[in-house]
Amino acid sequence: MKSNVGSTDKILRILAVILILFLYFNHLISGGIATVLIVVGGIFALTSIIGFCPLYAIFGIQSNKIPDK
């Protein structure tokens, strides 16, 4: 499994997770939307930690800078 998530992408994903958690814990989102956003935030956190996004792999996207070999 090759890394396909770059450092800028990782930072943006973590910022999105922080925003979702802020909204949730301040009761600005609730119900079904909160559940969906928490799941999306969990996926963002996981993919930024491991550096691999399955959707990027399916669509052939790479946001990391890989040196040419």
* pLDDT for res 68: 45
Residue 21 lies in a domain: yes
Q: Averaged over 57-62, what is the pLDDT?
A: 92
Residue 67 lies in a domain: no
Helices (H), 1-69: 7-25, 31-50, 54-59
Residue 49 lies in a domain: yes
The Cα 66–Cα 30 span in angstroms is 40
pTM for the whole structure:
0.86
Of all residues in the chain, the percent with pLDDT exceeding 90 is: 86
What are the φ/ψ torsions at residue 30 (nearest 5 degrees)? Answer: -160, 175
Tens-digit pLDDT profile for residues 22-51: 999 999 999 999 999 999 999 999 999 999
| Number of domains present in the structure of the chain | 1
Quick check: helix, strand or coil at residue 31?
A: helix
Domain residue limits at 31: 7-59
The Cα 59–Cα 69 span in angstroms is 22
